[in-house]
Structure 1
Amino acid sequence: MSKENKGKAAEERSEGGPETEDIPKCCGCRFPLLVAVLQLLLGVAVTVVAFLMAAISPSLLARETPHWAGIILCVVSVLGFLLFGVTYLPDEKTSMQFLAKVFYFLLCTVGLVLSVLITAFAGHHYNQASSFTCAEKGGDCLCTLEPDDPIARTFTYAGVADCQEVTGTLTVYFLLQMVLNLAQALVCTLGAFIMWKHRYQVFFAGLQLGAIPSGQNWRKV
């Protein structure tokens, strides 16, 4: 090692760490803005598709038109943007930062569970609606899975003059809900994982003064 390098190393040890320009300053080190944007877009898309489905017939149940899941994801996204704007301090030294992280992690977990359930429901209803045999009666659409069975269960869609809206348009909406909620589940999983990783793994934590020898370099935890 040259004298010049030895002098620099000694200077760094005397200051207790490397130069401040080596500290990561990217926005992604605080919070990945892309995740919050994706959550907002997916939440709006799920809500819009759900309201379009509800406009087909008032007989559709809440589990068939999951606008509430999209609204919840929009709330998660807003909390993500709030978390991005909170002044960062190591080890959650501000109560707002800590509470925002906890609520964001919990809401991402709830969003994940809801998205998986909605994907399952949408898949079931898509398979069911694709097999319907429907007939118009008195301004309503009466559908059944087994038209030859006189005691088979009948599904009534009130206010539907054209049964093609049930067997065609509605099945497309169910398929869209499956795709959107699957993407929503993946994004919520990513958001929860990033919060966990941010707290416990490789995000920059800085020098722990007094906890390590003065000659030890900074590290990531």
Structure 2
Amino acid sequence: MGQGQKGSSDKKQSQKNRDVSPAQEDSKRCRVCRFPLLVALLQLLLGVAVTAVAFLMLAISHSLTARETPHWAGIILLYFVLCTTGLVISVLVVAFAGHHHSQASSFICRQAEEDCECVLDLSDPIARTFNYKEVSDCEAITSTLTFYYLLQILLNLAQAVVCAIGAFIMWKHRYQVFFAGIQISSPSTHQWQNV
């Protein structure tokens, strides 16, 4: 093979390599796989789980406040701004649920007709009394409710991690891609290299 033929062959090969742009390579891949579906699916499942546990908590006593039953933390969060908002909301719910869990774990409760009255310290005459209406058994407050608080903490921690991962993936996909290279031939054909 002559030097001229080898040089011509190398030119054709390099021209062929330059003609293949990332856009052409991407079209061969699964388009659905580009969007972080796993993260979105995890957010959906965790949102449903958080909401379900919140309504189970509400079934124990109708007098529980919205802070104690954070059904609002189960909103489906899919986009960057919503992921960062979801991260903040989930951390707030963990703080609220952690406080209520530590409080409910220390309760001393007694039945008062159809309600359950709980205090933190029986020896303190001016201690705050927590009234839970329409509770047939105080055991539901001291054990079941504390279990639900713990479950809310774990679910919202998982949701915070998933929201953080989702926000990071979308941020990285949008802002951490740098292109280098030259554009050859027509303006519609982009030959860029990911760096």
Q: What residue is the counterpart of 2:128 in the other structure?
A: 153
The aligned residue for residue 90 of structure 2 is 115
Give the superposed CA RMSD. Answer: 2.9
- Judging changes above 3 Å, is the alpha-carbon distance between structure 1 residues 40 and 158 closer, same or farther for their aligned structure 2 residues? same
CA drift at 1:23: 6.3
For 1:51-62, list aligned pairs within 5 A.
51-62=55-66
Q: For 1:151, what is the secondary structure of its paired residue?
A: coil
1:75-120 C-alpha deviation (Å, 9 max, x unpaired):
x2xxx4xxxxxxxxxxxxxxxxxxxxxxx21111111111000001
SS at match of 1:136: strand
CA offset at residue 18 of structure 1? 7.6
Per the TM alignment, residue 206 of structure 1 is displaced from its structure 2 partner at its CA by 9.8
SS at match of 1:156: strand
Counterpart residue type for residue 15 of structure 2: A
User: What amino acid sits opposite 2:127 in the alignment?
Assistant: A
2:23 maps to 1:9:
no
Distance 2:95 2:142 in 1: 19
Deviation, 1:10, is: 3.5
The separation in 1 between residues aligned to 2:60 and 2:23, in whole angstroms, is 63
Count residues in correspondence: 185
C-alpha distance 164-18 of structure 1, shift in aligned 2 (>3 A): closer
Q: 1:32 — aligned with what? A: 36
2:183 corresponds to which of 205, 209, 212:
209
Give the Å deviation of 1:69. Answer: 1.2
Inter-partner Cα distance in structure 1 for 2:90 and 2:28: 34
State the one-letter code of the partner of 2:84. T
Determine the C-alpha separation between the residues in 2 that align with 1:44 and 1:116: 17
Give the structure 2 partner of residue 218 of structure 1.
Answer: 192
- CA shift in 2, pair 1:19/1:145, >3 Å: closer
User: 1:63 is matched by which residue type in structure 2?
Assistant: R
CA distance in 1, matches of 2:23, 2:47: 43
| 1:147 match: secondary structure | coil
Q: How does 1:25-174 map to 2 (within 5 A)?
A: 25-27=29-31, 30-70=34-74, 72=75, 74=76, 76=77, 80=78, 104-174=79-149
- The normalised TM-score by structure 2 is 0.83
Distance 1:39 1:207 in 2: 38
* Matched residue type, 2:140: E
How far off its partner does 1:218 sit? 3.3
Unaligned segments of structure 1, at least 5 residues: 81-103, 211-216
Matched, 1:199 2:174: yes
Cα 1:30–1:143 change in 2 (3 A) is same
- 8 Å contact from structure 1 (residues 142, 155) kept in 2: yes
Query: Post-superposition shift, 1:6?
Result: 4.6
The alpha-carbon deviation at position 193 of structure 1 amounts to: 1.0
TM-score normalized with structure 1 length = 0.74
**Which amino acid in structure 2 is aligned with residue 220 of structure 1?**
N
In 2 relative to 1, CA 109–24 (structure 1 residues): closer, same or farther, beyond 3 Å? farther
> Is the Cα–Cα contact under 8 Å of residues 17 and 207 in structure 1 kept in the other structure?
no
Give the counterpart letter for 2:115 in structure 1. D
Q: 1:159 to 1:198 in 2, by over 3 A?
A: same
The answer on whether the counterparts of 1:27 and 1:33 sit within 8 Å (CA) in structure 2 is: no
